[in-house]
Amino acid sequence: MNTTPHITFDGFPEIVFNTVITADGNDPEMLDWQNSGDCFTAVTPGGEWKLRITPRGKNIDVAFSGRKSRKIDRLTITLFQIPEFNADHVLPQAVRMGGCEAYDLKKMSAPAEFTGELLTSVTRAGVTLQYSTPFHGGFPVFFRGTADKGCIRNFRAVSQIDFYEPEEFALPVLTLRSSSDGFAMLEEYGNENVDTPKTFGTPAYGWNSWDYYRWTITEEEVLKNAEFIAKDTILSKHIRRIIIDDGWQYCYGEWEANHYFPSGMKSLADEITKLGFEPGLWFAPAIAEPHSRIAQWDHDMLAGSVGGQPCLAFECMRRFGFILDPTVPKTQRFLENLFRRYADMGYRYFKLDFLYAMTKAPRYADRSIRRDELVPRLLEPICRGVGGKAAILGCNYPYTGGNAQIEAVRVGADIHALWERLKANMPAVAAHFWSNKKLWYNDPDFALCRCAETSNDPDMKRLKALYPYVTPDDAFSEEREFVLAGMTRQEVEVLLSAVLMAGGAINLSDNLPLLNENGLEMLRKLVRAESGEAARPLDLFTSRLPSYYLQNLRHGHRALLVNWGEENALRQLDLTRYGISASTGTDFWSGKKITIRNSRLEFELPPHSCRLITF
């Protein structure tokens, strides 16, 4: 019996599994599904395929598997494709930091392509249909489409399997769930993906060199900031880590101190420890730049191109690198020895960056390794070397790596002290509330305070980070004059409020001795405030950029109301909708007491401003 498999959810279009297979760039083949009782089967010249649809409570699981009948290097599977359907909102979530953009379809002015991986939520008439795959699914599944005025076009689920040698494979189980409570579905998803249950409290806050200094960081500047914190009675009580970011090393892949750190990294760790802090250090453990000794001599440690040769699969700010192959024993020994050496020096925190780059190299020595296994395989020797002495932050970390090997994960992209960067970053910070203090500490990126009203720094706008992109033939571009600081005091309040409401890691990254008392007092308020749960962005499923946040504290709540726009805006929040009765509160930034009438917050907010209220 020839029956095309399908799924129906009330209020949403039918999902028809008109599955298409493309092997090594050949013409696509639509599968002719046959109902085989407990599953659907199809046969093509490239192999045999199965699809199983299983109800699980209110959810439906879809499992696709195959057996290849010949060698296929690149296999693309489009599970289903819906030409067009009406919707109010779509929230695609990325598999790593940043890259998350929500779409209020009722207000779309022009079509926009979107891609979600792991999670995509579509809302229509107050009901949300969630498409998800588990962290440890083996291969990526992308939810792609075009957001348009009042509808989604060409919505599809696509997976690509590259250079996977075993004949048999299975895609991640696709789970569909529908509810009028989108928040509960996201929290359910988080619960399902906890590998290692952990106890979370207040994370250890830190100071990090990157956002202010970037590659200009020196031993002297690190110690200057550490000594400044140590002398401040409030900052010293709450800042526990001093983290040296990118710029301390000779190059990626050759992790020795450069000439800006003349005393060496052991001496610096000792000095930081004497001041009462835990030393932290940045690495890009998967990357080897072309002039590193590994890249020059140890080619067997490097992942390969389609043709099998080492390839420059990494690029950031016009710096290129090869990818280390963690399936090679020599690579594992190198990483274990490297991190044992730095842990023995006294470093108690490692920020591991650019981990997602491992998915960019097509070939690894172990042809049976799946994409979700790459980062855990890289971290295994690192964790052995650390030996439990240090905590690990995963930056550019694919969430498919799970939560067993890391303490914290960056969920936000680079913020910088810039309003537009904060706006671009907030959808990702807001949408990942479900992972904080459940899988790991969410790291929303830096808590930055510098602006003309908070700093006496003459060099605040000196660094021009985008000059590396200017080519000899380029005309003058105002965009390339990008600087890393340009906020007002009001905008800084929004940034710091957003970091606090994220409920996770807080890392300062200003030149602290150059902040004035106004700026320092803002940071003191931030670090001594209670670390609550991650705030729920209350309009997550209705807006492009959430403006209302509610956070649970041990004994009370915090609410954040934001005006992201360019004109004055009224912000109203009825607390009784969330079971809260309150008559008084405190404005976090001014410290003033306020009266809350009828448990309702109501403020007229100027552009680029917020009110953060504790009650």
Helix (H, G, I), strand (E, B) or coil at 442: strand
Q: Provide the b/e sequence for 338-364 (b: ≥16 CB within 10 Å).
A: bbbebbebbbbbbbbbbbbbbbebbbb
Residue 409, domain member (yes or no): no
For the beta carbon of residue 462, count every other beta carbon within 10 angstroms: 11
Q: What is the average pLDDT across 517-534?
A: 98
Cβ neighbours for 562, distance < 8 A, ≥ 6 positions apart: 494, 497, 546, 547, 548, 549, 571, 605, 609, 610
Q: Provide the b/e sequence for 548-569 (b: ≥16 CB within 10 Å).
A: bbbbbeeeebbbbbbbbeeeeb
CB 33 within 8 A of CB 19: yes
**E strand or H helix that includes residue 462:** none
Q: What is the average pLDDT across 270-280?
A: 98
pLDDT in tens, 163-206: 999 999 999 999 999 999 999 999 999 999 999 999 999 999 99
Q: What is the average pLDDT across 609-614?
A: 98
Q: Report helix angle 219-231 to 265-274, nearest 10.
A: 10
Given a cut of 80, is residue 350 above it in pLDDT? yes
CA distance 502 to 441: 9
Given a cut of 90, is residue 242 above it in pLDDT? yes
CA distance 267 to 223: 11
Residue 69, domain member (yes or no): yes
Pick the last residue of a domain from 128, 160, 192: 192
Given a cut of 50, is residue 104 above it in pLDDT? yes
Structure-derived torsion over alpha carbons of residues 506, 512, 517, 522, reported in degrees to the nearest 10: -10
pLDDT for position 192: 97
pLDDT for position 97: 96
Residue 250, domain member (yes or no): no
Q: What is the average pLDDT across 349-355?
A: 98
**AA identity, residue 322:** F
- Structural domain boundaries enclosing 26: 6-192
Which is nearest to 146 in space by CA: 119, 118, 110? 110
Q: What is the average pLDDT across 348-356?
A: 98
Given a cut of 60, is residue 2 above it in pLDDT? no
Pick the last residue of a domain from 176, 192, 208: 192
The burial class, CB within 10 Å (0-12 / 13-18 / 19+), for 378 is: buried
pLDDT for position 348: 98
Given a cut of 90, is residue 99 above it in pLDDT? no
Residue 437, domain member (yes or no): no
Q: Which residue has the tokens 């000095």?
A: 271
Given a cut of 90, is residue 37 above it in pLDDT? no
pLDDT for position 38: 87
What φ, ψ does residue 561 adopt, rounded to 5°? -120, 130
Residue 122, domain member (yes or no): yes
- DSSP letter string over 353-366? --GGGGGG--B-SS
Q: Provide the b/e sequence for 281-300 (b: ≥16 CB within 10 Å).
A: bbbbbbbbbeebebbeebee
Q: Report helix angle 489-502 to 517-528, nearest 10.
A: 20
Residue 544, domain member (yes or no): yes
Helix (H, G, I), strand (E, B) or coil at 29: strand
Pick the last residue of a domain from 143, 166, 192: 192
**AA identity, residue 187:** E
Residue 237, domain member (yes or no): no
**E strand or H helix that includes residue 170:** strand 168-170
CA distance 45 to 75: 13
Percent of the chain with pLDDT over 70: 100
Q: Which residue has the tokens 């996770």?
A: 504
- Cα atoms in the Cβ-side hemisphere of radius 13 Å centred on 438: 17
Q: How many helices (H) and strands (E) does the chain have?
A: 11, 39
When divided into structural domains, the chain yields a total of: 2
Given a cut of 60, is residue 1 above it in pLDDT? no
> What mean pLDDT is reported for the chain?
97
Which is nearest to 361 in space by CA: 389, 383, 388, 331? 331
CATH number at residue 542: 2.60.40.1180
Q: What is the average pLDDT across 11-38?
A: 94
Residue 470, domain member (yes or no): no
CB 319 within 8 A of CB 287: no
DSSP state of 109: S
Cβ neighbours for 374, distance < 8 A, ≥ 6 positions apart: 326, 358, 359, 364
DSSP E strands: which ranges in 221-318?
239-244, 249-251, 254-257, 278-283, 287-288, 314-316
Q: What is the average pLDDT across 208-227?
A: 98
Q: What is the average pLDDT across 424-453?
A: 97
CA distance 80 to 408: 35
CATH number at residue 31: 2.70.98
